């Protein structure tokens, strides 16, 4: 994916396209005179061609002004401006320039944002939006497909450059590049995006950015005692992998923040077979792993002063003759035993050994895992926000703050002994499911049994990592929230 050049300039330089945002019924903004388009806009308003409704756009040719094209975008009513509305207006402005010859753009709409936000926030969001506009899933396996073409090469914000604004632009662009990688991995079919493909992607990131990559194979993990992870993997001929990436941007003596991402590259449900309808979407069950790799792409671009380790358990979950069965008991790397009541609750089985391995190997400052873990999360929160649960309120609060800032939102659900009791087993230390009620919480209570000695947070991204329907595809979330969180933890 190409990258757009970002610049700041306070002079009214010439570009081929100018974007101006206007509030509804406030169409005499002084900015119009500054760019010499007040008469043109007044004519459009008089003719009823533009009134400033939210996300309304109007593209006109503006000869004699600072640009060849003028794009007006509506913000709606000033006193009703919200983050969502600003982002909707920006998305509309970007869409208005699709399939045009616009190359060099002055984006003056960046000057408008909700009162509780600031200019750096607006620069971040606009830059991320412009960079994301180039994304197009164009793997050769897609067949006949005309790749998205965009002539845009540069965006100039009519602002004086400052360190904070420059950093915001860098964050927005790097986040978008990380999201693109996450989307590509999620969108690939599972016969291409195998555990080995994820491992190769991690190895390539390590080469590109100077990370350290380590990949554990099946025999090594069996010898280590990863009985829970290997139980899921025993039913697939596709070799499982434990993929580790290390980024050391701060003092090597500082404990790293560890990200653990579920990498089930295809989930049939195993012996507890899923219904056939929409089973193709189970290729997205590795979006936690894809998120970790996307975040590392962003880290490589930004090079922040923070230490981060990524751990990805990757496997298929298949219903083979040697697959695990309901009623089987397995022993995890931690030594705790697990009764398998449902083989479709496999994500927690691979994550628990990854969480233990991460703690044993890296002695992390904190652990954050992310997984498309439960359908119950979609029932609870829909597709708008991800769930966050954890044993450390400070960590949860910091993640929520980063998610609110980026509008890649998280919503906290509780943990507690009441839900933990649902995991009781007559035949092992715990069962791998806790019944129908509170499925997202009981899944997290399961993981909590493997993270008692470290600050830990779990992100259930089942409802946000991809979208179904006509626009089916991976979303790239929650890369923005995690990048913002990691930047906030710089030394």
369 is in an annotated binding site: no
- Flag whether 316 is marked binding: no
| Tokens representing residue 98 in the block | 């699709």
Rounded to 5°, angle at Cα 142 from 138 and 147: 35
**SS3 state of residue 208:** helix
Sorted by where each begins, the domain ranges of the chain are 5-161, 175-488
**For domain 5-161, is the CATH number 2.60.120.620?**
no
pLDDT digits (tens, 9 = 90+) for 437-449: 999 999 999 999 9
Is 239 buried (19+), middle (13-18) or exposed (0-12) by CB count in 10 A? Answer: middle
Cis ω for the linkage preceding 478 (within 30 of 0): yes
Position 141 scores a pLDDT of 83
Query: Which residue in 273, 471, 267 sits closest to 373, CA to CA?
Result: 267
Single pTM value for the model: 0.97
What is the pLDDT, as a whole number, of residue 84?
Answer: 98
SS3 297: helix
354-413 pLDDT, tens digit each? 999 999 999 999 999 999 999 999 999 999 999 999 999 999 999 999 999 999 999 999
Active site residues: 274, 348
Q: Which of 12, 101, 24, 10 is nearest to 55 (CA)?
A: 24
Q: Is 418 annotated as a binding residue?
A: no
Q: Which two tokens stand for residue 414?
A: 């509780």
pLDDT of residue 62: 80
Helix ranges, 303-344 (H): none
Within the chain, what is the greatest distance between any pair of CA atoms? 81
Q: Do domains 5-161 and 175-488 have the same CATH topology?
A: no
267 has binding-site annotation: yes
Closest CA to 181 of 196, 190, 193, 195: 193
The answer to whether 200 is annotated as binding is: no
**Rounded distance, CA 442 to CA 434, Å?**
6
The pLDDT confidence band at residue 65, using thresholds 50, 70 and 90, is: low
Give the chain's count of helices (H) and strands (E): 15, 20
pLDDT at 288: 98
* pLDDT score, position 374: 96
Q: Residue 491, Cα to own-chain centre: how many angstroms?
A: 24
The token duo for 170 is 């860098």
Count CA within 13 A, CB hemisphere, residue 374: 29
How do strand 57-61 and strand 69-74 relate by DSSP bridges? antiparallel
pLDDT of residue 64: 62
Interatomic CA distance for residues 360 and 228, integer angstroms: 16
Rounded to whole angstroms, how far apart are CA atoms 195 and 218?
A: 11
Count the residues in the chain: 491
pLDDT at 344 over 80: yes
Q: Quick one: residue 469, left, alpha or beta (phi over 0 = left, psi -120 to 50 = alpha)?
A: left
CA distance 324 to 304: 43
DSSP per residue, 353-371:
HHHHHHHHHH--SEEEEEE
pLDDT tens digits along 447-475: 999 999 999 999 999 999 999 988 899 99
Which pLDDT does position 421 carry in this prediction?
97
Average pLDDT of every residue of the chain: 96
Rounded to whole angstroms, the Cα distance separating 371 from 408 reads: 15
Name the pairing type of β-strands 337-339 and 430-431. Answer: parallel
Q: Summarize the confidence of residues 74-103 as an average pLDDT.
A: 96
Determine whether domain 175-488 maps to CATH 1.20.58.220.
no
The whole-number pLDDT of residue 149 equals 83
pLDDT digits (tens, 9 = 90+) for 118-171: 999 999 999 999 999 999 998 888 877 777 889 999 999 999 999 999 999 999
* Angle in degrees, CA 291, 292, 293, rounded to 5: 90
Given this model, what pLDDT does residue 28 score? 85
């Amino acid at each position: 994916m190409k990258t757009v050049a970002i610049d700041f300039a306070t002079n009214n330089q010439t570009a081929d396209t100018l974007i101006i945002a206007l509030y509804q019924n406030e169409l005499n903004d002084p900015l119009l005179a500054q760019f010499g388009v007040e008469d043109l806009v007044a004519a459009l308003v008089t003719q009823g061609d533009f009134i400033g409704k939210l996300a309304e756009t109007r593209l006109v040719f503006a000869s004699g002004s600072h640009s060849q094209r003028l794009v007006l975008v509506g913000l709606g009513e000033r006193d009703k401006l919200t983050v969502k509305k600003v982002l909707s207006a920006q998305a509309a402005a970007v869409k208005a320039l699709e399939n045009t010859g616009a190359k060099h753009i002055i984006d003056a709409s960046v000057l408008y944002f909700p009162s509780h936000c600031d200019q750096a926030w607006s620069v971040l969001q606009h830059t991320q939006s412009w960079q994301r506009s180039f994304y197009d899933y164009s793997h050769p396996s897609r067949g006949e497909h005309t790749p998205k073409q965009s002539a845009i090469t540069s965006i100039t914000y009519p602002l004086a450059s400052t360190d904070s604004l420059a950093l915001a632009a860098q964050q927005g662009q790097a986040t978008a590049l990380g999201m693109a990688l996450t989307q590509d991995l999620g969108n690939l079919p599972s016969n291409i995006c195998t555990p080995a493909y994820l491992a190769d992607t991690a190895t390539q990131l390590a080469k590109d950015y100077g990370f350290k990559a380590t990949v554990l194979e099946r025999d090594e993990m069996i010898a280590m005692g990863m009985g829970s992870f290997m139980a899921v993997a025993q039913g697939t001929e596709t070799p499982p992998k434990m993929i580790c990436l290390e980024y050391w941007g701060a003092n090597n003596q500082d404990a790293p923040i560890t990200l653990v991402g579920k990498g089930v590259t295809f989930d049939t449900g195993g012996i507890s077979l899923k219904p056939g309808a929409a089973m193709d979407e189970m290729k997205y069950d590795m979006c936690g792993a894809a998120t970790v790799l996307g975040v590392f792409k962003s880290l490589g671009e930004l090079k922040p002063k923070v230490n981060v380790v990524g751990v990805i358990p990757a496997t298929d979950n298949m219903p083979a003759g040697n697959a695990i069965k309901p009623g089987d008991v397995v022993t995890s790397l931690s030594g705790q035993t697990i009764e398998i009541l449902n083989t479709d609750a496999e994500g927690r089985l691979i994550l628990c050994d990854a969480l233990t391995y991460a703690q044993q190997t890296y002695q992390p400052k904190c652990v954050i895992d992310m997984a498309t873990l439960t359908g119950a999360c979609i029932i609870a929160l829909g597709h708008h926000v991800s769930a966050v649960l954890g044993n450390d309120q400070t960590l949860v609060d910091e993640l929520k703050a980063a998610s609110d800032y980026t509008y890649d939102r998280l919503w906290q659900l509780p943990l507690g002994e009441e839900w933990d009791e649902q995991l009781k087993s007559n035949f092992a230390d715990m069962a791998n499911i806790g019944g129908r009620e509170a499925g997202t919480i009981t899944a997290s209570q399961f993981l909590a049994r493997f993270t008692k000695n470290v600050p830990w947070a779990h992100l259930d991204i089942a409802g946000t990592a991809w979208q179904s329907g006509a626009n089916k595809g991976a979303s790239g979330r929650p890369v923005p929230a995690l990048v913002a969180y990691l930047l906030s933890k710089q030394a």
